[in-house]
């Protein structure tokens, strides 16, 4: 978009949700190509071939730009988790949830980079994005806790804590050092952790019940 060019007026029937999704995808693309530090209103506008004024009509600040991209991430996480877990119950559902959280893709790494930036500097106006992330992570912890109860009701909270922190630590390392912590390495240690914390306990509980 050339400087000084004016956008035509938006039609009354413009779909705001569609525009926000378009802006979110462009935000992720900029971050993936140039890093999260390069995510600006101007960069996203250029990616879309629009003016900065067009972007700010829907997303008024960089902080809101980040929040909008993370809304896209939340929607995608919800869909992927639903597909991954299906009708699984108990310890099998807990294991599937943990394995799913400890996998990567190029776009997933971008989303993680965005949320790390939000967490690192909430004071930069990232309140909405931060609270969005807290909502997602709190709900995820609740899912860990529900699954852990099927393995060991007395130790469920500690099991949930360990698995949750393992997954969160992995997400940070997958951004910091993706080559040093590929999925294969993480999954090997994760399977040991699941066996000791979840499956062995569930088997022992089942033996006592019999």
pLDDT tens figures, 179-197: 999 999 999 999 999 999 9
CB atoms within 10 A of CB 11: 7
d(CA 57, CA 41): 11
Domains and CATH numbers, the chain: 1-60 (1.10.10.60), 62-209 (1.10.357)
For the chain, the first-to-last Cα distance in angstroms comes to: 71
Structure tokens at 2: 């050339």
pLDDT tens figures, 101-158: 999 888 889 999 998 988 888 777 788 888 888 898 899 999 999 999 988 999 999 9
pTM (predicted TM-score): 0.82
């Amino acid at each position: 978009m050339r400087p000084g060019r004016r956008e035509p007026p938006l039609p009354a029937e413009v779909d705001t949700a569609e525009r926000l999704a378009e802006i979110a995808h462009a935000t992720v693309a900029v971050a993936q190509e140039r890093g999260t530090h390069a995510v600006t209103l101007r960069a996203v506008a250029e990616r879309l071939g629009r003016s900065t004024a067009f972007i700010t009509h829907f997303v008024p600040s960089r902080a809101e730009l980040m929040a909008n991209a993370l809304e896209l991430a939340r929607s995608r996480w919800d869909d992927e988790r639903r597909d991954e877990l299906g009708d699984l119950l108990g310890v099998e559902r807990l294991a599937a949830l943990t394995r799913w959280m400890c996998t990567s893709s190029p776009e997933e790494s971008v989303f993680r980079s965005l949320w790390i930036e939000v967490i690192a500097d909430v004071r930069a106006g990232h309140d909405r994005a931060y609270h969005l992330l807290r909502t997602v992570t709190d709900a995820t912890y609740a899912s860990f806790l529900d699954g852990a109860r099927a393995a060991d009701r007395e130790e469920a909270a500690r099991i949930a804590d360990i698995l949750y922190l393992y997954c969160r630590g992995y997400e940070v390392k997958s951004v910091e050092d993706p080559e040093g912590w590929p999925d294969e390495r993480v999954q090997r240690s994760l399977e040991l952790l699941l066996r000791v914390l979840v499956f062995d306990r569930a088997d022992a509980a089942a033996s006592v019940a019999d």
